Amino acid sequence: MREKHQDSPRDRTLDVTEIFASIQGEGPFMGRPASFVRLSGCVEPLCPWCDTKHAWGPGDAIPVNQVADTVRNLGNDLVVITGGEPFLQWASGLNHLEDQLLKKGLTVQYETSGKVLIPAEVKGVKVCSPKHLDGRWHYIQKNSNRADYFKFVVKDDFKGVEGFVKDQGLGANRVWIMPLGDHGEDQLALSPDIWAFCVKKRFNFSPRLHTLFFNNKQGV
């Protein structure tokens, strides 16, 4: 009886940092109105440049049904589930949230670092942004077959990104390159070189619109 109670989707909660409506600012869905669910908690090593440090610690425990209702009420067709690292909560409730959102006909897109294994049963679109820290990529190789698209925030380490793409056998059409910087002026300064890199390698270029226009403001 107790086990049945624990397995009920109705009783599951997610650890949530924030839910808000905005526009997807980067990557393959850039420019689309979207509802964002930012889940709490990430995986070490944490990135010193992280612009979502407020998602590292515990957030609010919110029932899955309530998260789904809030997202539906925001009214966008696209739902971006991000973090932190959202797949930490797959088995504890995110799987049920995905079910509910897909049944309502919404498009679900995930943002993951690839530091944890993307569950094989995920049906939404997986966008992976691998992290290079302390001289190496912190990335689970199996994710190269599980993620749909990859995006890299780059300052000048073009060779590092090229090496990763080659080693993982990623087609250029799965790769988005974005300029580093949590202020618009930093991004603009780097963009011409990143543009040229994308032209040369046939990668997709993406600005990061939210930081280009709003710097490091939260909830946009």
Name the residues that contact ligand SF4, by CB under 6 A.
42, 46-47, 50, 52, 55, 83-85, 113, 131
**Minimum separation from the CB atom of position 40 to ligand SF4 (A):** 10
**Minimum separation from the CB atom of position 49 to ligand SF4 (A):** 7
CB closer to ligand SF4 out of 43 and 125: 43
CB closer to ligand SF4 out of 26 and 85: 85
CB closer to ligand SF4 out of 200 and 217: 217
CB closer to ligand SF4 out of 17 and 106: 17
**Minimum separation from the CB atom of position 128 to ligand SF4 (A):** 11
CB closer to ligand SF4 out of 99 and 148: 148
**Minimum separation from the CB atom of position 131 to ligand SF4 (A):** 5
**Minimum separation from the CB atom of position 64 to ligand SF4 (A):** 22
CB closer to ligand SF4 out of 113 and 168: 113
Per-residue DSSP letters for the chain? -HHHHHH-GGG-EEEEEEEEEEE--SGGGTT-EEEEEEE----SSPPTT-S-GGGSS--EEEEHHHHHHHHHHH--SEEEEESS-GGGGIIIIIHHHHHHHHHTT-EEEEEE-SSSPPPTT--SEEEE--EEETTEEE--TTHHHH-SEEEEEESS-HHHHHHHHHHTT--GGGEEEEE--SSHHHHHHHHHHHHHHHHHHTPEE---HHHHHHTT-TT-
Q: How far apart are CA 33 and CA 24, in angstroms?
A: 6
Neighbours of 190 (CB within 10 A): 17
**Minimum separation from the CB atom of position 10 to ligand SF4 (A):** 29
Q: How far apart are CA 14 and CA 22, in angstroms?
A: 21
